[in-house]
Amino acid sequence: MADSFIAGATLAKSQDSIKSGQPLTLSLNFKVEGAIREVFSQKNWERAYNKHDNGFRLTIEVDLKSGRKTIMPIRFVRKAALFWTRNPKIPYRIWVSVVRDDAPFYPLTEDEAKMLLFDVNKVIELSGSDLDSGAQKLYAAIRVLWGKHYYTEPEEIKGRSNDIELMRVAA
């Protein structure tokens, strides 16, 4: 079985230069791919549910960095809950709901559940005063962790986004 990894980590900026008190919007996109995505399947949900393993928690830590200096640490959690369903649109007894940004989602397909849990599109709000003056190279150092479950061992994977260049100008 292939290992799990972070794929397609891209950091994008809303503008090229910024003043001291001005807001800056960054968007970070990446996917968790590989083994964990493959084993997160309805067949394994049913087996895990029967063994009273009915939750899955994905912890995502992102350090927005300029060189070695961390500008903003971000930590968020995604959860999946396995439950007994009687939804006529779902042909299975055990299904999953995904909690993302404190909102529950009830996917109708296995692929939609994987997308909700493992595809990350995060908007990061930053202030110009968080950055030093002059040219900056920013990137996101990404860490994704999960614990032991019926269908997976505990694991921690790391990744890094592309560098973006930004200029902080004096106000």
Residue 74 confidence (pLDDT) above 60:
yes
Domain edges within the chain: 5-13+20-159
> Tell me, what's the pLDDT at 170?
72
pLDDT tens track for 100-125: 999 999 999 999 999 999 999 999 99
Q: What span, in angstroms and rounded, lies between the C-alpha atoms of 71 and 101? A: 22
Percent of the chain with pLDDT over 70: 98
Residue 146 confidence (pLDDT) above 60:
yes
Residue 157 in contact with residue 5, Cβ under 8 Å?
Answer: yes
Residue 148 confidence (pLDDT) above 50:
yes
Q: Which amino acid is at 5?
A: F
Of residues 125, 120, 21, the one with CA closest to residue 76: 120
Q: How many residues does the chain have?
A: 171
> Tell me, what's the pLDDT at 1?
44
pLDDT tens track for 9-68: 999 998 888 888 888 899 999 999 999 999 999 999 999 999 999 999 999 999 999 989
For the residues 75-94, what does the mean pLDDT come to? 94
**Residue 152 DSSP label:** B
Higher pLDDT, 128 or 107: 107
For the residues 132-139, what does the mean pLDDT come to? 89
Burial of 166 (0-12, 13-18, 19+ CB in 10 A): buried
Percent of the chain with pLDDT over 90: 80
For the residues 80-85, what does the mean pLDDT come to? 96
Residue 36 in contact with residue 4, Cβ under 8 Å?
Answer: yes
